[in-house]
Amino acid sequence: MRDKGEDHDTIVVAFRGTKPFDAEAWSSDIDISWYEIKGVGKIHGGFMKALGLQKSKEIKKLLEENDKAKLIVTGHSLGGALAAVFTAILSYHDEKWLLQRLEGVYTFGQPRVGDQTFCQFMEDKLVEHDIHYFRFVYGYDLVPRLPYDDDSLMFKHFGTCVYSNMHYLAKIVDEEPNKNYFSPVKVIPMMVNALGELVRSFTLPLWKGNEYKEGSLMKIMRIVGLLIPGIPAHCPQDYVNATRLITSPPHFLLPPKDKSQ
């Protein structure tokens, strides 16, 4: 997507998330094998396969049309993971020109994609090229808490975590609460939260307008959430609402730095 005006030119590369009935995409999600890149670290094998042969030539061509054009990379769910891996591949191949034009990476409901070595590699590259990387997590969304961050799987997150609760109150945190999801002490709080989300699906349109009215399918998902908290929280609906209704704007809303300085 390209957003071009008199005073701006922004190219957005958006990676698509998992389709409900796409068996190939689901197989990529559940493939937790490692793909190791020397000097970078270990990356989720399924996400590397899903990225396939993504090319940067077309992006370069668009950016070359305007010296002031900027690049933004984004994605939800699997798309967020692919956005992370895409940025890693640019860094690995030392695509300095593209990285210089990369204004930021914004992922929503992104799962973990690599080990500690990979995350440190990415943190170093983000600092080196002055790239903003914001990882949005809503409520008890299950997906950002997978694969496990434990001694056996060793998956980690990197970047700045922007966490929004049920009231769309956002804050910057080191890691989302209940980072591995399956915690006995969190079962009751998550169910209470799911009940609040179900009630909110009926009351939010009254407060904010009919554009926030949820359809029947989403309401059914809210009911499912009473039994399996975290499933409806992964739907794009809450991430759209969280960015529109954010009630405590963190620093990511400030104007970006000028990399040319």
Catalytically active residues, by annotation: 77, 141, 234
Asked if residues 129 and 102 have their Cβ atoms less than 8 Å apart, the reply is yes
Asked if residues 131 and 102 have their Cβ atoms less than 8 Å apart, the reply is yes
d(CA 79, CA 193): 26
d(CA 84, CA 176): 18
d(CA 155, CA 145): 10
d(CA 109, CA 143): 6
Asked if residues 107 and 236 have their Cβ atoms less than 8 Å apart, the reply is no
Asked if residues 103 and 196 have their Cβ atoms less than 8 Å apart, the reply is no
Query: What Å distances lie between residue 42 and 112, 135, 188, 199, CA to CA?
Result: 12, 20, 35, 42
d(CA 86, CA 71): 13
Closest CA to 13 of 61, 71, 96: 71
d(CA 42, CA 51): 15
